[in-house]
C-alpha cells in the first residue's frame, strides 16, 4: 500500500533554495532598476514604478532564477491557487507584458525578459543583492532626484551649472559690447556735429534781420 504525500506549500511560496538569492539582502538591483524588498517598491533611476501585485511577484520569481527558464507552470503556482478558475496562459501573458511595459522592454528585442517558446521566460541579466541602497540618489519615499532638486529650488537654494555660467558671461559680454559701440557712435556724432554749430550761429547773427533786431 503506497502512501501519497500531499505538499502543503502554498502556490505563492518559494522554496528555501529559490529564496536564497533575494533573502541575502534588502535591495536588489539590475540595470537602472532598484528593488526595495522591505517596502516592496521598484524604482528606475530614483523614480518609483507602479507595479501591481502579480506583476511584482513575477519580477521576483524571475530574479530568483536569473539565466534559467521559469516555466509557465511555476508562474501559475506562484500567482494563482490551484482551485482558481482562470485562463492561466492568457493571464500569465498579460502579466508578463505589463512587466515588460513597466521595464521598457520588448518581446522582439528583449533586454531583460526573454520568451522561451512553449516553455516560459528567462531573465537575461544578473541581479545584485545588497543590504545597502545601491544608488546614491535612491530616495526611499519614492521621490526622484529631480523632485529633490525641485524642492531645493523652491526652498530658495539655487545651483548653477557650467553652462549657466557661460550663458551669463556671454550676456554680460554682449551688453558691454553694445555699450562700447553706443558710446563710440555718440562720440563720433558729437565730433561731426560740433563744427557746424558755430557756423550756424555766425550766419544767424551776421544776417541783416538779426542786426535790425538788436
Angle between the N-to-C axes of helices 53-64 and 88-103, in degrees from 0 to 180, rounded to the nearest 10: 80
Q: State the pLDDT confidence band at 20, using cuts at 50, 70 and 90.
A: very low
Q: Is the pLDDT of residue 5 over 70?
A: no
Q: State the pLDDT confidence band at 195, using cuts at 50, 70 and 90.
A: low
pLDDT of residue 12: 43
pLDDT single digits (tens) 84-99: 666 777 888 899 999 9
Average pLDDT on 88-116 reads 90
pTM: 0.53
Average pLDDT on 204-213 reads 54
CA distances from 55 to 4, 75, 95, 164 (A): 34, 11, 6, 43
* Contacts of residue 12, Cβ cutoff 8 Å, sequence gap at least 6: 57, 78, 79
The neighbouring-strand residues paired with 129 are 28
The neighbouring-strand residues paired with 72 are none
pLDDT single digits (tens) 129-186: 888 776 454 444 444 455 555 555 555 545 567 778 888 888 898 898 888 888 888 8
CA 177 and chain centroid, separation: 41
Average pLDDT on 111-119 reads 93
Amino acid at each position: 500500500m503506497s502512501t501519497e504525500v500531499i505538499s502543503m506549500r502554498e502556490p505563492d511560496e518559494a522554496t528555501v533554495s529559490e529564496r536564497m538569492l533575494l533573502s541575502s539582502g534588502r535591495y536588489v538591483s539590475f540595470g537602472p532598476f532598484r528593488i526595495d524588498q522591505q517596502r516592496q517598491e521598484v524604482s528606475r533611476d530614483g523614480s518609483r514604478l507602479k507595479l501591481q501585485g502579480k506583476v511584482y511577484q513575477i519580477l521576483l520569481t524571475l530574479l530568483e532564477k536569473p539565466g534559467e527558464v521559469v516555466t509557465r507552470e511555476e508562474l501559475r503556482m506562484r500567482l494563482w491557487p490551484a482551485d482558481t478558475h482562470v485562463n492561466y496562459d492568457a493571464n500569465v501573458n498579460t502579466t508578463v507584458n505589463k512587466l515588460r511595459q513597466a521595464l521598457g522592454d520588448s518581446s522582439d528585442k528583449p533586454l531583460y525578459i526573454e520568451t522561451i517558446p512553449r516553455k516560459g521566460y528567462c531573465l537575461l541579466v544578473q541581479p545584485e543583492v545588497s543590504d545597502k541602497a545601491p544608488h546614491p540618489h535612491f530616495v526611499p519615499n519614492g521621490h526622484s532626484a529631480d523632485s529633490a532638486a525641485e524642492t531645493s529650488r523652491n526652498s530658495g537654494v539655487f545651483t548653477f551649472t557650467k553652462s549657466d555660467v557661460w550663458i551669463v558671461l556671454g550676456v554680460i559680454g554682449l551688453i558691454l559690447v553694445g555699450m562700447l559701440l553706443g558710446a563710440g557712435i555718440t562720440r563720433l556724432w558729437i565730433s561731426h556735429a560740433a563744427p557746424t554749430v558755430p557756423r550756424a550761429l555766425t550766419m544767424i547773427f551776421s544776417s541783416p534781420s538779426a542786426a535790425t533786431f538788436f
